Amino acid sequence: MAKFILFPKNFLWGAATSAYQVEGGNINNDWYFWGNEKKTPSRCAKAVDSYNRFEEDFDLAGQLGHNAQRISLEWSRIEPQENQFNQEEIEHYRKVLLSLKARGIKAVLTLHHFTNPLWFYSDGCWLNPRSVSRFAEYVNRVSKEFYGLADYWITINEPLVYVYNSYLRGAWPPGEKSISKVLAVIANMARAHLSAYKIIHNNCQNVSVSIAKHIRIFSPCQGLGLGLNALSAYLRNQVFNYRLLEFLAKKKSLDFIGVNYYGRDFVKFSSKDFFGRDCYCSRHQLRRNSLGWYVFPEGLLKILMRLKKFNLPLMITENGTSEKEDYLYEKYLRQHLFYLARALGQGVDIIGYLWWSLIDNFEWDKGFGAKFGLIGVDRDLNRSIKPFALAYKDICLNNKLEYA
Ligand code: BGC
């Protein structure tokens, strides 16, 4: 007989997207500029045209039994020039949020998901100390405008991933590779979150505010130099996974923790880099997804148990994969939910689970090759529900996971 696990009442079930990755037509931010410089395999251009088709997308989310949807606002639409707000775009996002509400889907609203308005980008971006007050102005405006339309607010998505790709790896705009800049940007983003947290609470009642924190499992490669490999893995774990959360929690600026979890990295020491380098040697027997990422469902349990000490509700604000075959998505989904349920069983307060992503979309420096969506999109941008999304639907509607 199949066994099953029931999830808590009012558990949030849904998916996540970000504005630039799905909307299309964004021509006033750093990623548009980056695409024009041919630094991505393809331009984002129309993306999947969700700017115009959001009703259709949310209809599908509703049909899939979702009661929550994470979206982001595109700052460059709302404030195309410093201190000049575009009311038409604000009204557009009001419609987007109202259309979720009309479908009984709770909005989880992200204010910064990797993209920056060009005016902000060209004037030092997050290195400029004024970035903090600039972000605050934007947050002040949107939290007044969208009062009552979102229960959960995420100020900044994955600050460390942003900083790693944009200021250390040089793969995202502005393409920098500098440790001192990394530190300056993290400090400004942390300050920006602290002030945004206060502003949102001043302007809105009964909302929960957080960041979405990407957390990975870092394991030392068991090969040569195990001790040093372990040291690099430990450093990554401290610096990349937990330092910022500890700082923000100490400042009492998190009402819950948004957790983005994808998998595991193996780390090999490198004399050129404190944090070592990723290792893909044949010792590691774990399955890899179509992007080459190691799939490690138990890692979700480990992370959730570690986060328990914060004594804050946790929401999985992203978890997902890109695969070549449908059954692998379903397997990934079920295995991760199984470990999430184990964490619930051990007393971790988890309030929701959002799959990345609702729909296939633009995957940053990888272009359109990655397919994370519950909904597929063809060349004419017609939508179709993927088979594994129906398995997820069953789980969402019954609030229950069956397993063998
Ligand atoms: C980001 C998304 C991205 C996803 C898959 C997350 O780190 O927030 O924007 O598409 O990972 O790579």
Question: Distance from the CA of 47 to the center of ligand 1, in angstroms?
Answer: 15
Q: What is the pLDDT of residues 71-94, one digit of tens each?
A: 999 999 999 999 999 999 999 999
Q: Which atom of ligand 1 is nearest to the CA of 18?
A: 9
Which residue has its alpha carbon closest to ligand 1 atom 9? 18
Question: Distance from the CA of 114 to the center of ligand 1, in angstroms?
Answer: 10
Least confident of 272-281, 345-354, 376-385: 272-281
Quick one: pLDDT band at residue 247, thresholds 50, 70, 90?
very high
Judged against a pLDDT cut of 90, whether residue 404 lies above it is answered with no
Question: Distance from the CA of 209 to the center of ligand 1, in angstroms?
Answer: 20
State residue 335's pLDDT score: 98
Distance of CA 254 to the CA centre of its chain: 16
State residue 41's pLDDT score: 86
Q: What's the rounded mean pLDDT across residues 137-144?
A: 98
State residue 346's pLDDT score: 98
Question: Distance from the CA of 46 to the center of ligand 1, in angstroms?
Answer: 19
Q: Which atom of ligand 1 is nearest to the CA of 363?
A: 10
Quick one: pLDDT band at residue 2, thresholds 50, 70, 90?
confident
Q: Which atom of ligand 1 is nearest to the CA of 157?
A: 8
Least confident of 77-91, 178-192, 265-279: 265-279
Collapsed DSSP state (helix, strand, coil) of residue 369: coil
Judged against a pLDDT cut of 80, whether residue 385 lies above it is answered with yes
Mutate to test the pocket of ligand 1, among 240, 332, 364, 374 (most ligand atoms within 8 A of CB): 364
State residue 274's pLDDT score: 82
Rounded CA gap, 395 and 397, in Å?
6
**How many residues are listed for the chain in this entry?**
404
State residue 104's pLDDT score: 98
Judged against a pLDDT cut of 80, whether residue 1 lies above it is answered with no
Quick one: pLDDT band at residue 42, thresholds 50, 70, 90?
confident
Which residues are bridge partners to 109 per DSSP? 71, 153
State residue 224's pLDDT score: 87
Q: Per-residue b/e over 347-381, b at no fewer than 16 CB within 10 Å?
A: ebbbbbbbbbbbbbbbbbeeebebbbbbbbbeeee
What six digits make up the tokens of 140?
A: 């002040």
Which residue has its alpha carbon closest to ligand 1 atom 10? 363
Residues having CB within 6 Å of any atom of ligand 1: 18, 21, 157-158, 161, 214, 260, 318, 356, 363, 372
Q: What is the pLDDT of residues 322-370, one digit of tens each?
A: 999 999 999 999 999 999 999 999 999 999 999 999 999 999 999 999 9
Question: Distance from the CA of 180 to the center of ligand 1, in angstroms?
Answer: 25
Least confident of 271-280, 289-298, 300-309: 271-280
Judged against a pLDDT cut of 90, whether residue 272 lies above it is answered with no
DSSP state of 45: T
Collapsed DSSP state (helix, strand, coil) of residue 94: helix
Nearest to 121 by CA among 72, 80, 168: 80
Question: Distance from the CA of 404 to the center of ligand 1, in angstroms?
Answer: 30
State residue 39's pLDDT score: 84
Q: Is the peptide bond before 357 cis (omega within 30 degrees of 0)?
A: yes
Judged against a pLDDT cut of 90, whether residue 105 lies above it is answered with yes
Q: Which atom of ligand 1 is nearest to the CA of 262?
A: 11
Q: Which atom of ligand 1 is nearest to the CA of 322?
A: 5
Question: Distance from the CA of 161 to the center of ligand 1, in angstroms?
Answer: 9
Q: What's the rounded mean pLDDT across residues 179-192?
A: 98
Q: Which atom of ligand 1 is nearest to the CA of 291?
A: 12
State residue 372's pLDDT score: 98
